[in-house]
Amino acid sequence: MSSRREQPVHIAELARVRDEELAGDPVGQASGAGARALMESITAEERVPARRRSPRRGRWLGLATVAVAASVALVVGVPFGGPVTEYANAAVSIKAGDDYLEVAINDPEAEAAEFTEAFRAVGLDAVVKKAPVAPENVGELVGPIMDGEFPPGAGVTGSRKEDCPSAWCGTVSIPVHFKGKVIFGIGRPAAPGELYATPSVDVRYVDAPVGGYKARGRRVADFSADMERLGLKIEYVVMWTAGPGGSGGGYPVDSAYVKDDWTVQTAEKIASDAVRVYVEAGPGVPPDSLPQAAPMGTSEWWKK
């Protein structure tokens, strides 16, 4: 198939009668020699049917239209203000993966609204509230509290990075199809006597500022006397071992039913003036046979 290459044409070359030939004709008269020559030139020109639009040009026009339509569809497909994969402000930096969030808390003292803004930017229906914690846990991420239904077999997990240049770094795994509300907490110093959102747990110590007091393996009588000297209220939780792997359970028990020679498993600060002590039930005490005491309670920071 041969192709024809069209050359550019100047309008001035289409006229066979030049302007200078018309210069001497009387204005408004068609009887002058120049006017007659122009008329003869026009009438002698072969009439050519109007050309149809070039197929090539039509195809390019069609592609251009498709391209415009595609760009519009792209804009529509990504709504303005939609979720992003990374977001950072002065308070927090967040990177979203398929089913997890990488979080770095830059300024624990920032307003909760700044944290909320960041979590919502990556597509979570989230709010952030300040949660009361022990001094050593200030600035850490608390929770999250999830209000909604999880996909079958799904849950939330998290881990903290130790080599963190910010106040707190870690990964929070959240099911990608979770559509409920998420409540994150950022640790703030608890008021005196205020229950902690997350107990201050250390399997070696009850209270590090007191000199690294060892709890595990102590007799109840010795441990209790030391806690009382420190001015700490004690909540006893008696534990029973139910399986060969060391699994078991327990519940709060009044101190009158806890024997002095029982052994402390571990302890945790639950407020600045209170400690929860997990005690191994003595030999011959059947599981769940002791009267249950009213617990000191837990912090409900997410409801405030």
Q: How many other C-beta atoms can be found within 10 angstroms of the C-beta atom of residue 36?
A: 13
Query: Total domain count for the chain?
Result: 2
What whole-number distance in Å separates Cα of residue 159 and Cα of residue 76?
Answer: 37
Q: Are 104 and 164 in contact (CB under 8 A)?
A: yes
For residue 97, CA distances in Å to 22, 117, 172, 237 come to: 79, 18, 10, 40
Element (H or E) spanning 159, and its range?
strand 157-160
Residues 178 and 220 in one domain: no
State whether 250 and 210 are in the same domain: yes
Residues 73-87, mean pLDDT to the nearest whole number: 50
Does pTM surpass 0.75? no
Residues 217 and 274 in one domain: yes
- Structure tokens that stand for 170 in this block: 């870690």
For residue 272, give every residue at least 6 positions away whose Cβ sits within 8 Å of its Cβ, in sequence order, or none. 134, 190, 192, 193, 194
The residue among 170, 189, 208 that closes a domain is 189
Domain boundary, last residue among 154, 189, 224: 189
Give the integer Cα–Cα distance in Å for 182 and 127. Answer: 6
> Which of the residue ranges 45-54, 124-133, 172-181, 290-299 would you say has the lowest mean pLDDT?
45-54
pLDDT of residue 57: 36
In a domain, 30, yes or no: no
Which whole-number Å values give the CA distances from 302 to 131, 132, 165, 281, 297, in the listed order?
8, 10, 27, 34, 14
Is the pLDDT score of 225 beyond 50?
A: yes
The residue segments making up the domain with residue 219 are 200-298
